Amino acid sequence: MGQDIRSSASTVLANMGALMPGVEALYRDIHSHPELSMQETRTAGIAADKLKGAGYEVTTGVGKTGVVGLIRNGEGPTVMLRADMDALPVTEETGVPYASKVPGVSHMCGHDMHVAWLAGAATLLAQSRERWKGTLMVVFQPGEEIAAGARAMIDDGLLKRFPTPAVVLGQHVMVGPAGTVAGSAGPITSAADSLQIRLFGRGAHGSMPQASIDPVVMAASTVLRLQTIVSREVAATDAAVITVGVLQAGTKENVIPDDAIIKLNVRTFDAGVRKHVLEAIERIVNAEAAASGAPRKPEITPLDQYPLNVNDEKASNRIAEAFRAYFSPERVKHTGPAPASEDFGCFGTAWQVPSVFWFVGGNDPEVYAKAKAAGKLNELPVNHSPKFAPVLHPTLETGVEAMVVGALAWLAAG
Ligand SMILES: [Zn+2]
Ligand SMILES: [Zn+2]
């Protein structure tokens, strides 16, 4: 397959140079006009226009703002390419000249990069239909950051209204040297579960603790005990993260409040570990409430849930082989699962077809190498940081190339 991929990808990508100024302009435009989850009307409109201009059959408003573009190009597999479009409620601090013009909203996860990549790749594939066969399905998805968009598209009939893909492909910009791609077979992003826990006590005057059941102490004790799940109940060879991000109780120093709120986030890479951790949280929360003599059982409310994202082994190897053939092996890195989460996995799971998700580096290679040598990789701004600013080149080119090569690993094979 190596040589075929190299030759078909080189032909399809021959026009990339001419297209890149447009891809860069699109990126800058979307970066400076970010839209929050499920409100991506402007971005979706631009994506739909790009697809129409390139000759796609376009459906808009799938799952509110989702866009689906199709090119039916003869007998062959259907390949679905996906990008997410939403921004975050974060005030940008990158200082780039094309920074967000919307107060308090910015593309700090890089979904603007994903839109630009996919628009570029979709255009190049449409322009070179003689080099491949099959059906290309391009999906711009809303609401990834709140785990709602993939589900919204599926609930809006995605599976019935569009052809079943042979494979679903997606990519994310991440910390890593620009010009490289990274991934592996098996779990690639973690399952994430967010929960709200409300602990009930009995309020009283601060001077009379005997009249109270203090939810502050109950919550403090619960937060500490939750730390023992990962340290004492999860094997060293497994992994999990439990982070309490919100701890709220009380309004005044001499008033013991009635209740306390804990909001926490769990990351796991294995269905069995996930089940164990979630059950352990429930057990500890209930037991701590009982230990305090709480008047009511705590309320545990799920906030959102991202599925474990598993790269199909065969499909993942096919992608890795195509990437190595096109990019050269040095630019293709192996990376284990990232403790980030994605609702990308919903598509493959819903259709019951293989999916592959990979990462594209967004850091200046020199800056990355220096940080690595100094043992300071953790100091590079990561996704969701207000300073997350991928370098434009070659990050833009690499993502366009990776999407094209990935699609051709199926479409050019026939
Ligand atoms: Zn994100
Ligand atoms: Zn993201």
pLDDT tens digits along 41-76 = 999 999 999 999 999 999 999 999 999 999 999 999
Q: What is the pLDDT of residue 1?
A: 64
Residue 330: other Cβ atoms inside 10 A? 9
Ligand 1 center–CA 66 separation, angstroms: 17
Ligand 2 center–CA 341 separation, angstroms: 8
Q: What is the pLDDT of residue 414?
A: 56
* Ligand nearest the Cα atom of residue 111: 2
Region for 300 from its dihedrals, namely left if φ exceeds 0, alpha if ψ lies in -120 to 50, beta otherwise:
beta
* Ligand nearest the Cα atom of residue 384: 1
347 in Cβ contact with 150 (< 8 Å): yes
What average pLDDT does the chain have? Answer: 96
Q: Tens of pLDDT along 187-246?
A: 999 999 999 999 999 999 999 999 999 999 999 999 999 999 999 999 999 999 999 999
Q: Is the pLDDT of residue 147 over 60?
A: yes
Ligand 1 center–CA 383 separation, angstroms: 6
Angle ∠(49,362,80) on CA atoms, nearest 5: 45
Ligand 1 center–CA 127 separation, angstroms: 31
Q: What is the pLDDT of residue 4?
A: 85
Q: What is the pLDDT of residue 85?
A: 98
Distance of alpha carbon 260 from alpha carbon 1, whole angstroms: 59
Q: Is the pLDDT of residue 96 over 70?
A: yes
